[in-house]
Each structure stands twice: as C-alpha cells, then as structure tokens.
C-alpha cells in the first residue's frame, strides 16, 4: 500500500508555494467595477484578452492601490510602460 492515500495525496514531496504568494480576496468589493468592465470586455471581444489588456491593467492597479496584492511595477506583470508603447507605435507608423 502506498503512503500517499487513495487519491494520490502527498507522496513525500513538500508543497511549493505559488510564485507570487497568496493575496487577499476582495471581500469589500473595492475593485468590482474594474473586474466587471474587464469581464464584459472579454465577452464582447470573443474572449480575446489582448483586446481588453487596458482593463486588466486597470484592475491590477486597483488591487495594488487598495493593498489587495503586492505593489510592483506594472511592467513586471507583463504590461509595457505607456512611454514604451508610444515609442513602438511611432516607430511602426
């Protein structure tokens, strides 16, 4: 019999925490409007997230402002800085 249990369980491996850690849920609904705007955008854009990136960024910024997640540079979360975006669009045009 294995020591892991009937459903696999922990077989001697120690758990690994998530890369970004755990952040609090928005129990007070402080960023609900930003979340709703993003979800509505996804629905209307056929679930193509690149069309709604600006709303995703706004939602993450809301969470950071209200201490619902660690504050960090938005570029570390996969968003280019606005100045970088403007420069790249000027170069393409």
Whether residue 83 is predicted with pLDDT greater than 50 in this model: the reply is: no
> 88: exposed, middle or buried (C-beta count within 10 Å: 0-12, 13-18, 19+)?
exposed
Average pLDDT over residues 40-64: 95
pLDDT per residue as tens digits for the range 15-49: 676 666 666 789 999 999 999 999 999 999 999 99
What percentage of the chain has pLDDT greater than the value 70?
65
* CA–CA dist 52, 49 (Å, integer): 5
Residue 26 to residues 23, 65, 68, 80, 85, Cα–Cα distance (Å):
9, 12, 7, 26, 30
Share of the chain above pLDDT 90, in %: 51
Least reliable range by pLDDT among 8-12, 19-23, 85-89 = 85-89
For the beta carbon of residue 74, count every other beta carbon within 10 angstroms: 15
pLDDT of residue 29: 95
């Amino acid at each position: 019999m294995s020591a892991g249990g009937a459903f696999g369980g922990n077989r001697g491996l120690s758990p690994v925490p998530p890369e970004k850690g755990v952040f609090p849920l928005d129990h007070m609904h402080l960023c609900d409007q930003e979340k709703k705007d993003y979800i509505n955008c996804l629905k209307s854009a056929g679930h193509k997230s690149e069309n709604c990136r600006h709303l995703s960024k706004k939602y993450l910024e809301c969470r950071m402002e209200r201490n619902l997640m660690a504050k960090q540079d938005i570029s570390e979360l996969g968003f280019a800085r606005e100045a970088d975006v403007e420069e790249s669009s000027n170069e393409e045009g």
